[in-house]
Chains A and B, each alone.
Chain A
């Protein structure tokens, strides 16, 4: 199969970016928020999540990134019902490897077109922003549970730690 072209990537991006054109902020008091930046290109993403039993229950976002970061965030949002820490880490690693040219396919086929952005290394961190943010959110959820003497899998959310 031929390598995806920048034109193909642009088509993918064009269909995705409207998903994140409107900010969605969470009012749930259990929501955690994290802001991550790509220092090279200046892209910025604020991601909010309610994480229960090691799974994302709700997702909120404010995307101020280049087109690559907007598109990958939109893809993550499409998969939000399947998001757990292990999956986020796995797909994020796959995307990083794809951008480096080490692999050609990810578990989420929508990401395969991003192989066309291999040469644009200054934007790779932007593309990875939603995975970086979700990783931080899962870590934060883990820390909160551990602080309460619990784990994130299969335990009830500790009410006293709600912000």
Chain B
């Protein structure tokens, strides 16, 4: 009897919950020695990435946001701490940094994305972001001392049509958190906040948010807090010497802090696989919208930030993709066919400042419908931050 090898690559939220969900789903086969579930990660730590934005405001610190990856995994998951250097999808084989090769029967690619500020001239030198821990700390070091001037906020989209930037709601959340943080510091009156959005983004209308219903309520939300806003600012380059952001539309704006959602790309091994058709060497894998299979490879599934789908690159997306992938792998193993489809569903609780939250959800067919931000919403978000998240990673929620 040959053991079927199911390998998950990536120890972020998508890979971790999926490895655990696979164990839950395939427990009879695993117990009978018919299936083995492995997770390959190059990091012994699992990071709660969505909380990096709180680091930028001094609300959380490094050790609060991580757990040893092995402590989050079901004991049946075979954890391999190694680095995938090459995907050979045709041969169903992985090449690892340790020199080992691994054959698989089914593969889940959940390798995330890489913030790449270096793709905009001057941005790495003079800009800041909160999508990784160390840059978020660097941003905090600036925000905690700024006394006057301008915080200029911008968003960079991938060039691939309909592929959004990382965590779609984060720029709006952090703008509102910044306003509250500066008020707490007593310097808000001296610091101008300017929120901008690129001209075309993935659509062809000027807006403050990708989805129109939210975009339509944002001006009033910002104006109530004295936050300036502008459409039609697509960052082209930054002049670090002059501290000036230069747009594709020809505008130049001085800043004291530039908080820019940076360009993103797939990880090197995915880029080098040669499978992606995404422009600008972004590397998103062509993914079937419903089955989440890598196009052309029926035994490979893709999730999270690595897909080329028009859904948010966020943990709330993984939460809905993971059961689809797990059920489809179980369906293929047990019935020889796919049994589940992804409907594009994403859910989250947006942090609308530190003390209110807004539940949101959408799918392929429905845009986000903005709801009133409430204290109960913030309590739900705090509960998620403080404990529920780890239950999600363990596949329990």
Residues of A within 8 A of B (CB): 6-7, 9-10, 18, 21-23, 41-44, 64-69, 117, 120, 122-123, 126
Smallest CB-CB separation from B367: which chain A residue? Answer: A14
* Residue pair A43, B212 in contact (C-beta under 8 Å): no
The stretch from B39-47, B67-75, B97-105, B274-282 touching chain A is: B274-282
Q: Looking at B161, B200, B203, which has the most chain A CB atoms within 10 Å of its CB? A: B161
List of A residues within 8 angstroms of B280 by Cβ:
42
Chain B nearest CB: distance from A124 CB in Å?
A: 11
* Residue pair A117, B289 in contact (C-beta under 8 Å): no
* Residue pair B161, A65 in contact (C-beta under 8 Å): yes
B308 beta carbon closer than 8 Å to chain A: yes
What does DSSP make chain B's interface, helix, strand, loop or mixed?
Answer: loop
B162 beta carbon closer than 8 Å to chain A: yes
Smallest CB-CB separation from A10: which chain B residue? Answer: B205
Q: Bound complex: CA of A67 vs CA of B202, how far in Å?
A: 7
Q: Bound complex: CA of A90 vs CA of B202, how far in Å?
A: 29
Chain A nearest CB: distance from B347 CB in Å?
A: 19
Q: Bound complex: CA of A120 vs CA of B288, how far in Å?
A: 29
* Residue pair A67, B204 in contact (C-beta under 8 Å): yes
B298-313 CB mask vs A (1 if < 8 Å, else 0) is 0000000000100000
B290 beta carbon closer than 8 Å to chain A: yes
Q: Contacts A21-B365, A22-B290, A23-B289 given; indicate if A42 touches B161 (C-beta within 8 A).
A: yes
Q: Bound complex: CA of A42 vs CA of B278, how far in Å?
A: 7
Q: Bound complex: CA of A65 vs CA of B279, how far in Å?
A: 12
* Residue pair A66, B162 in contact (C-beta under 8 Å): yes
B345 beta carbon closer than 8 Å to chain A: no
Other-chain contact of A42, B159, B200, B286 (Cβ < 8 Å): B159
List of A residues within 8 angstroms of B286 by Cβ:
64
List of A residues within 8 angstroms of B204 by Cβ:
6, 9, 66-68, 117, 120, 123
List of A residues within 8 angstroms of B132 by Cβ:
none
